[in-house]
Amino acid sequence: MCRSIRERYGQLERICLSYDMAFVALFLSALYEPQEAVSEFRCPMHLLHCRQAVRNEYTDYAADMTIALAYHKCLDDWKDEHKRTRYEYSKLLKGSYEQIRKRYPRQCRMIEDSLSKLEEIENARVCMPDEAVNCSGKMLSELFVYQEDFWSNTLRTFGYELGRFIYLMDAVMDYNEDKKKNNFNPLFGMQMEPGEVETLLTMTIGNAAHQFETLPILKDAQLIRNILYGGVWQKYYVKMRKEKPYDI
């Protein structure tokens, strides 16, 4: 993905790399098993070893979605925190984003609509936790659908539940800090024990995992399982060991 971004957009855009879209690339490649171009190179950020890069249309797609999300994140940060650097960066990304928007109008439209809805919900400050969580889910759901085909519904449902999980997990992880900074957090005002929030998280990721298990994914299936059943909880376990259970 990193090389895809560099070759197709530029060095600057590489800073946008995120794990979420790398997972999309991994997932779609496992489902569709496309032809892949494998090459060896030395990464300028990790010079110690020669590396292999695997590239296909899904790594390119995920690279495009990464830029799209990064562009919107900059706009968001500029709106929220008025960081000049974010504004300048968004101007630099705008050209690339416009190219991507022409190529993937459905996904970009969903990102734009979801983010604007999320902004409304967060500004309204009324505690409707599901609205915010579901909105985030809806956004990611569309990104998992590279093209409309037989798998679209399952991919959408998977992306939806995963998006909800990620947003909810972030809310759990940021709970104390958001309270201090008076930021929006969908969990505010809920009368729940930490263990009960874990029930919610498990329900959501459980639904996502179920969708995954119905797909005919064989290549990299164990790797994906490692992530869905274990990897997604790692930060949570670290935090639970470090801090006392938070008050929700």
If one asks whether residue 120 binds another protein (CB under 8 A), the answer comes out as no
Tell me how far apart the alpha carbons of residues 217 and 223 are, in angstroms, rounded to a whole number.
11
Task: Name the segment binding another protein (CB under 8 A); options: 8-16, 90-98, 173-181, 233-241.
Answer: 233-241
CB of 81 to another protein, least distance (A): 27
Tell me how far apart the alpha carbons of residues 110 and 103 are, in angstroms, rounded to a whole number.
14
Angle (deg, nearest 10), helices 105-124 and 57-81: 30
Tell me how far apart the alpha carbons of residues 57 and 157 are, in angstroms, rounded to a whole number.
22
If one asks whether residue 39 binds another protein (CB under 8 A), the answer comes out as no
Q: What part of residues 9-38 is at the interface with another protein (CB under 8 A)? A: 19, 22-23, 25-26, 31-35
Q: What part of residues 209-228 is at the interface with another protein (CB under 8 A)? A: 209-210, 213-214, 216-218, 220, 223, 225-228
With CB under 8 A as the rule, give the number of residues binding another protein.
77
If one asks whether residue 194 binds another protein (CB under 8 A), the answer comes out as no
Tell me how far apart the alpha carbons of residues 48 and 58 are, in angstroms, rounded to a whole number.
27
Identify which of 167, 166, 198, 171 has the alpha carbon closest to the alpha carbon of residue 183.
171
Tell me how far apart the alpha carbons of residues 170 and 232 are, in angstroms, rounded to a whole number.
11
Q: Which is nearer to another protein, 23 or 97 (CB)?
A: 23
Q: Which is nearer to another protein, 54 or 77 (CB)?
A: 54
Q: What part of residues 123-142 is at the interface with another protein (CB under 8 A)? A: 129-131, 133-134, 138, 141
CB of 164 to another protein, least distance (A): 8
Query: In the stretch 140-179, what mask flags binding to another protein with x, by CB under 8 A?
Result: -x-----xxxxxxx--xx--x---x---x-----------
Residue with tokens 């995920």: 62
Phi-psi region of 135 (alpha: psi -120 to 50; beta: other; left: phi over 0): alpha
If one asks whether residue 99 binds another protein (CB under 8 A), the answer comes out as no
C-beta of residue 67 within 8 angstroms of C-beta of residue 13: yes
